[in-house]
Amino acid sequence: MASNANGGKINVPEAKGALNQMKYEIARELGVGLKQGYNGDLTSREAGYVGGYMVKRLIQQAESRLAGGTY
């Protein structure tokens, strides 16, 4: 089983709320039934879909900031 380098921990704790909000917004946009608390009824595909779109959106935001000169 693969794991990420930081063990799934958020490097900037102040960002936790924003990341959670993004997760629920993306799930709603994709029609995935993500809810507060236990989500064991989600398929791996649904969870991966939400996570993948989170990464895609974070990369887009970083690219926009870099292109605009805002770091």
Report angle CA 69, 50, 39 to the nearest 5 degrees: 140
- Give CA–CA dist 66/34, Å, rounded: 31
* pLDDT at site 68: 85
* pLDDT at site 1: 41
3-state secondary structure of 23: helix
Residue 11 has pLDDT above 60, yes or no: yes
- Give CA–CA dist 30/8, Å, rounded: 23
Segment 13-63, tens digit of pLDDT: 899 999 999 999 999 999 999 999 999 999 999 999 999 999 999 999 999
